[in-house]
Amino acid sequence: MRNFMEMLRAKWAEGKFVCVGLDSELEKIPQRATQMSGARAITFNRAIIQQTSDLVCAYKPNIAFYASRGAEGLQDLVTTVYLIKELAPEVPIILDCKRADIGNTNIGYVKEAFDVFGADAITVNPYFGAEALQPFLERKEKGVIVLCRTSNKGATEFQNREVIIKQDGFRYEGVGRKLLSATPEVFAIPLYQLVAHRVAREWNKNGNCALVVGATAPDELAAVRNIVGDGFPILIPGIGKQGGDLEKTVNAGKDSKGQGMIINSSSGIIFASSGGDFAEAARRETEKLHSGITEILKGAVAK
């Protein structure tokens, strides 16, 4: 049975931290992939996987780019997962769909992600709380990747709002601040930090949780790493077109062992070329990102 955390840590041990987002928008796929729209996404994804599988720690298809094409697109997603398992059987698959609800609805989402689409991990929204997300958390072999501090510009509207907490074992060094000097056990901290603490310290009973923190917020990323500690996976989108700085991201996101990161790039890799060399260009960009991460990690060790 495939176990997401075991597969991911095996890739970290190989020094691989790049996640390729297979956000395969049909309109952007080069005509070379094929003239038939239904087959074009599969031909495109197959070529990307074949060119990059030896460099990555994960693949991350976003369901929106498949579901927007109806039944045909969803079948392409199923086929893409199958292709990854066939061509890159040691690479875990993250389904990016940010699911969350209550009761039987979540049971349905669990079956959708893991049993229908065959993903190894899923992104989820923490807003409903741990109780509602139990159907995901109970799947011990699957990864549950919780939104924490996202990469979009509007993330600060709620995620950076301060909430009041009691110390209660909170790993607050360097990330929280005292609310009242007369009550030193009370703090005001950003909401995303509370999410990080709860997920890492309370939700992670099966050791299958991870967090999403954007590369566009390196200070917040460093704060989250401080809260969750070593070995805890952080999925980091926002490198490339969103403007995330790679050196700041790696230095903020790595743990003390130089691991713990899933650094995602989507369009910057898969659409690096709109010509006939699209697959080769995707490999070049993946190699560039992989080499950049490696060099930064080596520099950190040298210091």
* 113 burial type by CB count under 10 A (0-12 exposed, 13-18 middle, 19+ buried): buried
Q: Label residues 239-271 b or e (16+ Cβ within 10 Å = b).
A: bbebebebebbbbbbbbeebbbbbbbbbebbbb
98 as an active site residue: the answer is: yes
CB atoms within 10 A of CB 18: 26
Nearest to 262, CA basis, from 282, 284, 281, 290: 290
Pairing of strands 234-236, 261-265: parallel
Residue 239: strand pairing partners: 244
Q: Tokens standing for 90?
A: 């040691």
Dihedrals φ, ψ of 43, to 5°? -60, -40
Report the candidate in 106, 171, 175 with the shortest Cα–Cα distance to residue 144.
106
Set 98, 178, 248, 288: catalytic member: 98
CB atoms within 10 A of CB 84: 25
Helix, strand, coil percentages (3-state) for the chain, rounded to 5, are 45, 20, 35
Q: Tell me which residues are annotated as active site.
A: 98
